[in-house]
Structure 1
Amino acid sequence: MADNIDNLLTETRRFAPSDEFTANAVATSALGEAARTDRLAFWADQSRDLLSWQKPFTQVLDWTNPPFAKWFADGQINVAYNCLDRHVEAGNGDRVALHWEGEPGDTRTITYAELTADVKKAANVLLSLGVRAGDRVIIYLPLIPEAIVSMLAVARIGAVHSVVFGGFSAESIRARVDDAAAKLVITADGGWRKGAVSALKPAVDEALEVSAHGSTSVEKVIVIKRGGNEVAWQEGRDLWWHDLMAEAEPEHVAEGFDAEHPLFILYTSGTTGKPKGILHTSGGYLTGAAYTHKNVFDLHPESDVYWSTADIGWITGHTYVVYGPLANGATQVVYEGTPDSPEPGRWWDLIEKYKVSIFYAAPTAIRSAMKAGRQIPGSRDLSSLRLLGSVGEPINPEAWVWYRDVIGGGKTPIVDTWWQTETGSIMISALPGLTTLKPGSAQVPLPGVSIDVVDDKGLPVGNGQGGLLVITEPWPSMLRGIWGDPERFKETYWSKFEAASLGKSQGYYFAGDGARKDEDGDIWLLGRVDDVMNVSGHRLSTAEIESALVSHPIVAEAAVVGAADETTGQAVVAFVILRTSQVDTMTPEDAVAALRAHVAHEIGAIAKPRTVMIVQELPKTRSGKIMRRLLRDVAEGREIGDTTTLADTSVMNAIKIG
């Protein structure tokens, strides 16, 4: 097998920033110059400029025991103070922090002064229940203001939060409670999703009943009234949030904690066996969150209205709903529900209503909007938008251009961001006032971030070649380990490219993504290496073939997997959703023939799918990622594997090879 991943798809459209955007851009060429001159001094300056330190740091990076980094270790900081109090003290208490909209249409507008007051009271609630610095708190809530208040209150007192997405099962909660030895759970009676209330507390009750065979580390459960559900009640353990907040003391002084004090554990979704708890600490993480949010999104906090559509159960919600925007004093929209409730177009209604200027969403949602048709966003006034962002997976060029033209009015820059739960903040992205944009390319490492594409031996590939994406130098927001399992941390992320094998003093971080460099050296993500197929000796990326399929005008979304083939080793199998407006324009047989020919034309005969299945939906997790593992089961005729993490488990019943 060749070391490199073949890359065959070409995309030549380019979009330079307008003179007006560049003239007012937050990030300038000076940012890159400073990072190249002295990378550690650059990060120190960013942290000092963006954050308020209770005790200033003197040491920037301790890398004496790789891969265990310490950033700003002799400094002390309070994360919640940086997100709240200091903005009030600077005279911005009346600035709106959150425009919150519930799925049924109820709304709340919360200023920085009001959010600070709520977090102070919630911090006192936690302290009154015996929660102390270092204790772990599970948060299992819908996307309501109290979820953000809870996270910040936990951080304020130096406890450690672990947010569990509100759609996860009792078993998922149980595994996280046990692994973190959590002391307290914050949940709700229910939350709105797709026009109905989904119960939450029953899953917590079930999780704590079976936790550790009947015993649990959890002492108290705080319950927020949201869905109006009747809930079972365990006296002495269960407490109503509103009662506790009504009795709480209003004042709380934020104490400084060491920069390396744990801030949160976030368990990666879809894990098997023991959960993998990604640990992030305080000073370095908040530095990365604030720096990237300000520069990648070109944030002007006095005038912008920012909206990331992510749930707080995912890392995007942590970094780009809670910590980054609030550290930077941004005004943002937070929406509880789904983009199609009560009907398609809810997102565009909210952009029009709140005059959103910066919008950050996942490619899968953008492709769903493409499928529904441009007439839906076209009937709304989206002229307030000046910057769009993409997150979660590579965005194919056709969706990129549709996003810019239909949502962005043909003028907005798009920042296509690559990062992970483990990296904590964005690592690769265009800087919108500087970068000539290439649809489908994440483009360049941010200033201060060191990234390369290498072959299996760790040697850099040349421009025009594909390989494995690695991070070659430590960065402030990097994960500090896997909770309670340092050996697993080393094995999972650092063992493929160890220092000894590279002949260097340190190894490379590698988390499983393939990438290629184009002729300019810009980076294109190729998806997980697990999703690279070996077809007749060619290592082909599923992302490139999916992108070719979606570039055909009849296709809204596509997923590609490799299936065993006696002749070629693996064969390409494609699952395709047609655009609503195109479903009746040709027969399924003609559509399949057209798509196979289109891929051969766009990429080459080697990539032509052996099988194309026209389907209504694709299997996706609740965070919107396609579960290709299940599609591989279908393609190879196996029994379908575990579907518990799917947003809609019925999808697999309708997908089968004919």
Structure 2
Amino acid sequence: MPETFDVKLEKKTYRPDPSYLEGSSMGDWETAYGRFMDDPEGFWAGIAGELEWFRTWDRVKEWKHPYARWFTGAKLNITHNCLDRHAAGDRRNKVALIWRGEEEGTERMYTYRQLHRLVMRFANALKKMGIKKGDTVCIYMPLVPEQVVAILACARIGAVHSIVYGGFGAAALHTRIRDAKAKIVITADVGFRRGKRVPLKTIVDEAVINASSVEKVIVLRRTKPLLELISEMEVDFDEVMEGMAPACEPEVMDAEDPLFILYTSGTTGTPKGIVHTCGGYMVGTYYTSKYVFDLKENDIYWCTADPGWITGHSYIVYGPLAAGATVLITETVPDYPDPGTWWQIVEEFGVTIFYTAPTAIRMFMRFGEEWPGRYNLTSLRILGSVGEPLNPEAFEWYYHVIGKSACPVLDTWWQTETGMHMIATLVGEPMKPGFAGRPIPGVVVDVVDREGNPVPPGIGGLLVIKEPWPSMMRTVHGNDERYRTYWNTIDACYTAGDLAVRDEDGYIMVLGRSDDIIIVAGHNLGTAEVESALVSHEAVAEAAVIGKPDPLKGQAVKAFVILRLGFEPGEKLKQDLIYHVRMGLGPIAMPSEIEFVTSLPKTRSGKIMRRVLKAKEMGMDPGDISTLED
């Protein structure tokens, strides 16, 4: 990548109806951001003061580069703010959670009082099984209410949860269980997807082999006849709750105690276990849920992500519940049984805030305006986008077709590592297709060259965060050196690994990754993880993968493979390799294209130069190749 580069910027701007800004909890960006910059610690203390603490903090922030401590000395439990304070107040009988299953007619609703009691019963079940503060619990479940209950029950008793997306295969699950040293795995017999059963329990059976830390597997049995539990390790989800009291005092947690580990793909080696802590993460997700989404008391809020990703942690579970929202979750996919499924849900439940990925938006574009046109979408008030840059074409379609040219579109930029939104266009502010927006109040962002010097508007550079924020990750589990690289790549800045450009108004367009991460349908895949899966096949000697632009997924995986002697390239082998990756890492990581090659571009030290492969694939100049071995 050159140090900086020119970018041709779009100039189009849309202005929401003035009523959005007039009714906004945040107010206009200039005033709110100025308030933050005048007194950064006072700003965050004000947000934190809206929540309930068992003991307030001695200091808002302690910063010793590259380590931050937020709300030092404070005591809390995040579930007290997500459940107790609502269940004991005016929101007691407000619906907290709405669930729609894939099978027609399957739906459940839970008030804050009901959800509170369920969480406490399951928390007591975990305690009875020997789980205590600091133990790790792995959650590998479909998107059902029991998953949310399990997450909150862990937090209730101070157990660290590690959620693994239910689309990952046995090898990926095994790696994460072992690295986190999980004592319990919580799963289900099956998930439902496109009318088919996904055998989650079968995957867990394989994943726990040689995972000596695992003491019990809790299984939610959804199908009849009930799946037989044969091992002494295996117990039924509902049965462990029988007889459990619906009262469980929340564990008193220090603000800096770990809340969860979430694994995200890295550019090298094994997946990174990002560690988030209780206090700062609670404040950041509450703040952004309430103020960036501008949540109102009567909103029906639907984030289409899965809790297996950070979006689900922050904007299905912790943030919206801390803010007292009514949260809709569903196991349905956007195009099954037809491309109108999600729009039917919007109409039926009166969804007001809809938060989804550009991949889904581009898929709907492919089906055309007919499907959303069949449904009444006038309940929608705010549209959000997450996971990857929202390209201008997708913005236009989303804004005009789904929002009827009336709903603000919030294109949010943030990461697993940041825990919360960092860049967005606040509700009521002018929107620019292709631009995520400006740093939200509370966040200091810049676009710089490799020496850390700010670059002028219209010039692309590296996106960095210049000051710590409450919900920032605290370390990488078991590998603090890996954590430090985020803050040491460019002096005194958090380096996000994304390329970006700023316009004259300070709006930021995120251009994509500057490293070897591939973002497929909003999901981060490390090249090393996919390459490792390929090389584990008996036919493969070496492999390199790159991300290629894809009109639907944003990026698709292309693999370059060198075969071992005795194996011949062919379509059958290509299909075998794709299936091999699917079984190891899950369908998200499947290469859409495989090219058999006899050599790969490498440096003299043996590092594969993926940018050369990518440049060749895209018909571009590969740049400096002086370090190539050949």
Note the C-alpha offset of 1:39: 0.6
Change (3 A) 1:331 1:575: closer
Change (3 A) 1:176 1:232: farther
Whether the 8 Å contact between 1:201 and 1:231 is mirrored in structure 2 is no
Change (3 A) 1:413 1:655: farther
Whether the 8 Å contact between 2:548 and 2:558 is mirrored in structure 1 is no
Q: Which residue of 242, 245, 266 maps to 2:241?
A: 245
Change (3 A) 1:206 1:478: same
Whether the 8 Å contact between 2:288 and 2:421 is mirrored in structure 1 is yes
Q: Which residue of 515, 522, 525 maps to 1:530?
A: 515
Quote the residue 2:323 is aligned against. 328
Whether the 8 Å contact between 1:55 and 1:256 is mirrored in structure 2 is no
Quote the residue 1:96 is aligned against. 95
Can you give the 5+ residue segments of structure 1 that lack an aligned partner in the other structure?
499-506, 533-541, 544-571, 578-617
The SS at the match of 2:481 is helix
Matches within 5 A, 1:582-593: none
Whether the 8 Å contact between 2:99 and 2:108 is mirrored in structure 1 is yes
Q: Distance in 1 between matches of 2:276 and 2:198?
A: 30
Would you say 1:497 and 2:484 are equivalent positions? no
Quote the residue 1:11 is aligned against. 10
The SS at the match of 2:67 is coil
Q: Spell out, residue by residue over 1:76-114, the C-alpha distance to the aligned partner (whole angstroms, 9 max, x if none).
A: 010111100100111211100111000113000111000
Q: Spell out, residue by residue over 1:556-586, the C-alpha distance to the aligned partner (whole angstroms, 9 max, x if none).
A: xxxxxxxxxxxxxxxx997665xxxxxxxxx
Would you say 1:82 and 2:85 are equivalent positions? no
Change (3 A) 1:4 1:189: same
Quote the residue 1:136 is aligned against. 136
Change (3 A) 1:183 1:407: same
Quote the residue 2:350 is aligned against. 355
Quote the residue 2:506 is aligned against. 521
Q: Which residue of 451, 470, 473 maps to 2:467?
A: 473
Q: Spell out, residue by residue over 1:294-345, the C-alpha distance to the aligned partner (whole angstroms, 9 max, x if none).
A: 1111100x21111000000000000000000000000121011211121111
Q: Spell out, residue by residue over 1:603-642, the C-alpha distance to the aligned partner (whole angstroms, 9 max, x if none).
A: xxxxxxxxxxxxxxx6x5xxxx634554999xxxx99898
Change (3 A) 1:53 1:574: closer
Q: Distance in 2 between matches of 1:418 and 1:649?
A: 23
Quote the residue 2:264 is aligned against. 268
Can you give the 5+ residue segments of structure 2 that lack an aligned partner in the other structure?
522-545, 563-572, 597-616, 618-630
The SS at the match of 1:63 is strand
Which AA in structure 1 matches 2:196?
A
Q: Distance in 2 between matches of 1:459 and 1:159?
A: 42
The SS at the match of 1:512 is strand
Change (3 A) 1:348 1:2: same
Change (3 A) 1:519 1:628: farther
Quote the residue 1:315 is aligned against. 310
Note the C-alpha offset of 1:655: 9.5
Q: Distance in 1 between matches of 2:94 and 2:135?
A: 32
Q: Distance in 1 between matches of 2:45 and 2:225?
A: 49
Identity of aligned residues (%): 46
Q: Distance in 1 between matches of 2:377 and 2:289?
A: 22
Which AA in structure 2 matches 1:150?
A
Which AA in structure 1 matches 2:555?
I
Quote the residue 1:23 is aligned against. 22
Change (3 A) 1:244 1:34: same
Q: Spell out, residue by residue over 1:384-441, the C-alpha distance to the aligned partner (whole angstroms, 9 max, x if none).
A: 00100000111111110110111111100000000000000000001112x2110110
Note the C-alpha offset of 1:648: 6.3
Q: Distance in 1 between matches of 2:321 and 2:57?
A: 22
Change (3 A) 1:217 1:351: same
Q: TM-score, normalised by structure 2?
A: 0.84
Q: Which residue of 550, 555, 571 maps to 1:626?
A: 555
RMSD over equivalenced CA pairs, Å: 2.7
Whether the 8 Å contact between 2:548 and 2:557 is mirrored in structure 1 is no
Matches within 5 A, 1:90-239: 90-105=89-104, 106-211=106-211, 216-228=212-224, 231=227, 233-239=229-235
Whether the 8 Å contact between 1:192 and 1:227 is mirrored in structure 2 is no
Change (3 A) 1:627 1:480: farther
Quote the residue 2:533 is aligned against. none
Q: Which residue of 259, 281, 293 maps to 1:285?
A: 281
Note the C-alpha offset of 1:194: 1.2
The total of aligned residue pairs comes to 555
Q: Distance in 1 between matches of 2:590 and 2:251?
A: 49
Q: Distance in 2 between matches of 1:34 and 1:168?
A: 43
Which AA in structure 1 matches 2:417?
E
Note the C-alpha offset of 1:191: 0.8
Would you say 1:296 and 2:281 are equivalent positions? no
Q: Distance in 2 between matches of 1:70 and 1:248?
A: 36
Change (3 A) 1:414 1:631: farther
Quote the residue 2:417 is aligned against. 422
Which AA in structure 1 matches 2:250?
A
